[in-house]
Every structure is written in C-alpha cells, then in structure tokens.
C-alpha cells in the first residue's frame, strides 16, 4: 500500500520546523557556553594582547549582539553558507562533508549489526522463554547495556589489538597500503573494533525490545488460531509474529539511528576514527563555533530523515497508520 501523501507533507513541515529550532537553540547555547574563540586564536598566534583579541572578535563577528549574529547565520545557512572555520580558515561545509563518509560508514555498519543481531537474538530468546538460552541472551543484553561504550572499546583494544595483535586499534586506513583489495581488507580490519563497540551497545537494546514484542504478539488470539489450524511454525513466525512485532522494533531502530551519531563521538575519539564525531570533539576543544553548528545541523538532519523514513515504513507495515494521519 502506498504511503499517505498528507501524512508525509505533515511530517515534512514538522521536520522543517524542528530543524529550524535545532539551529536556533544550538546557536544560542554555543554562544552562551564559556570560552572565547578569539582568546584561543590569539594564544595560538602568540600575541594575546587585548587589542589583538578585540580585532579577532570583530573579524569573526563575535562583537555583535547574539540576536544579530543569529540573524546573519540563519540568512547564510539558507544559501548553504556555513561560514569559515575559525581555526583552519577553510569553508566549514567542505570540512564537514569530508568527514561525512567515514561517519556514515561506521554508523551504518553498526546499525545493521545491532538490528540484525538484536532481532535474531530476541527471536531466539522469545522462541523458548524461560529456557537457559533465553536467560543467557537476556544476561548478555543487560551486560552490554550496562557497560559504558568507551569501556567496551578500550577492552576490545586491549584484547584484540594489544594482547592478540589481530586488529588495528586506531585510524581508518593504513597509508602504506595500496591497491583496491589490500585497501579493502585494511579498511575492514580498521572498522571491526569501532563497529563492534558501537553495535554491541545498541544490539543489547534491540534484543530486549524484540524479545518483548514477539512474546506480546505470541499471546494474541490470531496466533493461537493459526496454531490451531495447523499452520507451520515457520510460517507463523514469518507471516504473523514478525510482521506484527515490527512496529515497536522499527520505533526503537529509528531512535537508535539518531543516537548512533551521538555515540559515534565517543567511539571515534577512542579509535581516532576520522568522522564527524571526532571533528565535533576537536571543534569543541578549539571553540570552533561554525564547525560545531554545521555538525549539529547535519546530524539533526540525518535524524529527521531517518524518522521520516520510519513514518513511511509504519504505513507500509500497518496500513491502519494511514487512518491516523491527522492525529
């Protein structure tokens, strides 16, 4: 069944307002945060007298009231002009877009891992509730959920990079590797630990949600009717259980897709992964406001797009969602 155009138009309007609110709130909060980029830049240049600092502030436009700065920034963003980096004096959009592929690669692979492994483990646990397999999967999920993400990363580095020496512990590519297949193998080796670190945490959440959703659906009347008719268990799981349990699973997956961007900041810092998360961390330390704002906006845009796709998927999975388009 096709998606409801009215609902999509409504969600697009909400997305535009949400993105505008994110830009405004982020801009104001960053400007109110302690720290002065002009002082940092003056210190880096070795001349931090008051006159020189004030000159830098005027050059960056930081001497204007916040309302004036916000109006100028919104006007520039509408033309896709994110300004120059305070530190590098290069176009911000070029700097951020250079880091986007690395973050997309990391978060997409981690998302696929968490989704497939989480649903698979949740389904295994739901098939035999109360069994040793169910208890083991539940305990494993709670363990990975309770561990801080950076600690998981550090433990994986100690085990697989330091002690065993199987995998590299930092970076994305070895500059000494050339050729397509050697470079691909090197990339996969560098990706393994960051993807596992990011994926294991969200896999634990997905496994618990999938188990609960499948157990809830398994007690419904139509499932008991299908079993009474002698339908094969595999068909019941594929055509009835999984399909009707997909809505809560999809909801959590959409939320996780947004959280992955935030989680990537820690993971990219631990593994020196050259993505947007690492760029945001470096920009925060340097008080590079323009870069931070661009990262926040693009990250928010990604979350909004994912949630819009989730709304469309709801309608395809459950046509009754169309009836709530005006809700």
For 154-209, the pLDDT digits (tens) are 899 999 999 988 888 888 888 878 888 888 898 899 999 999 998 888 898 888 88
Q: Note the pLDDT of residue 123.
A: 85
Q: Note the pLDDT of residue 192.
A: 92
Q: Mean per-residue pLDDT for 114-138?
A: 87
In sequence order, the β-bridge partners of residue 84 are: 91
Q: Which segment, 14-18, 32-36, 215-219, is predicted with the most confidence on average? A: 14-18
* pLDDT for residue 274 is more than 80: yes
Whether 118 and 231 share a structural domain: yes
Question: For residues 32 and 60, what is the distance between their CA atoms, to the nearest angstrom?
Answer: 16
How many domains is the chain built from? 2
Structure tokens that stand for 322 in this block: 């169309």
What are 178-183's contacts with CB under 8 Å, separation 24+? none
Whether 60 and 192 share a structural domain: no
Whether 16 and 152 share a structural domain: no
> Is residue 228 a part of any domain in this protein?
yes
The closest alpha carbon to 268, from 170, 188, 187, belongs to 170
Percent of the chain's residues with pLDDT above 70? 90
The answer to whether 221 and 182 are in contact (CB under 8 A) is no
CA–centroid distance for 140 within its chain: 23
Backbone angles phi, psi at 173, to 5 degrees: -145, 145
> Is residue 207 a part of any domain in this protein?
yes
What digits encode the pLDDT tens for the residues 243-254? 777 777 888 887
Whether 113 and 192 share a structural domain: yes
The answer to whether 264 and 202 are in contact (CB under 8 A) is no
Whether 201 and 262 share a structural domain: yes
Whether 199 and 258 share a structural domain: yes
Q: Note the pLDDT of residue 327.
A: 43
Q: Note the pLDDT of residue 46.
A: 57
> Is residue 325 a part of any domain in this protein?
no
Three-state SS for 174-202 is CCCCCCHHHHHHHHHHHHHHHHHHHHHHH
Question: For residues 259 and 255, what is the distance between their CA atoms, to the nearest angstrom?
Answer: 6
Question: For residues 64 and 59, what is the distance between their CA atoms, to the nearest angstrom?
Answer: 11
Whether 154 and 36 share a structural domain: no
> Is residue 232 a part of any domain in this protein?
yes
Q: Give whole-number Cα distances, 21 to 15, 93, 162, 204, 213, in Å.
A: 10, 20, 45, 32, 34
Q: Note the pLDDT of residue 3.
A: 58
Q: Mean per-residue pLDDT for 70-90?
A: 83
Q: Note the pLDDT of residue 78.
A: 84
Question: For residues 42 and 44, what is the distance between their CA atoms, to the nearest angstrom?
Answer: 5
* pLDDT for residue 323 is more than 60: no
Domain CATH number, residue 189: 1.10.3720.10
Q: Note the pLDDT of residue 246.
A: 77
Q: Note the pLDDT of residue 325.
A: 44
Which structural domain, as residue segments, surrounds residue 152? 99-273
* pLDDT for residue 48 is more than 70: no
Q: Note the pLDDT of residue 195.
A: 92
């Amino acid at each position: 069944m096709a998606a409801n155009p009215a609902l999509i138009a409504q969600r697009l309007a909400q997305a535009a307002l949400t993105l505008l609110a994110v830009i405004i709130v982020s801009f104001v909060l960053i400007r109110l945060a302690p720290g002065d980029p002009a002082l940092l830049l003056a210190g880096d240049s070795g001349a931090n007298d008051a006159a020189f600092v004030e000159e830098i502030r005027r050059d960056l436009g930081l001497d204007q009231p916040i309302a004036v700065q916000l109006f100028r920034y919104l006007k520039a963003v509408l033309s896709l002009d994110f300004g120059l980096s305070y530190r590098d004096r290069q176009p911000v959009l070029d700097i951020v877009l250079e880091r986007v592929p690395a973050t997309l690669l990391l978060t997409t692979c981690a998302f696929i891992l968490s989704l497939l492994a989480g649903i698979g483990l949740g389904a295994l646990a739901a098939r035999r509730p109360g069994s040793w397999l169910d208890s083991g999967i539940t305990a494993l999920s709670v363990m990975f959920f309770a561990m801080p993400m950076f600690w998981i990363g550090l433990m994986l580095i100690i085990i697989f990079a330091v002690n065993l020496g199987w995998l590299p512990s930092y970076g994305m590519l070895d500059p000494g590797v050339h050729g397509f297949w050697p470079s691909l193998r090197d990339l996969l080796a560098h990706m393994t630990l960051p993807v596992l670190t990011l994926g294991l945490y969200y896999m634990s959440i997905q496994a618990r949600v999938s188990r609960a959703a499948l157990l809830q659906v398994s007690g419904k009347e139509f499932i008991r009717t299908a079993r009474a008719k002698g339908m094969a268990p595999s068909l019941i799981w594929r055509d009835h259980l999984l399909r009707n349990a997909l809505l809560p699973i999809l909801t959590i997956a959409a939320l996780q897709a947004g959280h992955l961007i935030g989680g990537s900041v820690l993971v990219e810092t631990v593994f020196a992964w050259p993505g947007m998360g690492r760029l945001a961390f470096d920009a925060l330390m340097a008080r590079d406001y323009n870069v931070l704002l661009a990262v926040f906006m693009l990250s928010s845009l990604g979350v909004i797009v994912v949630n819009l796709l989730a709304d469309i998927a709801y309608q395809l999975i459950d046509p009754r969602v169309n009836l709530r388009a005006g809700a």
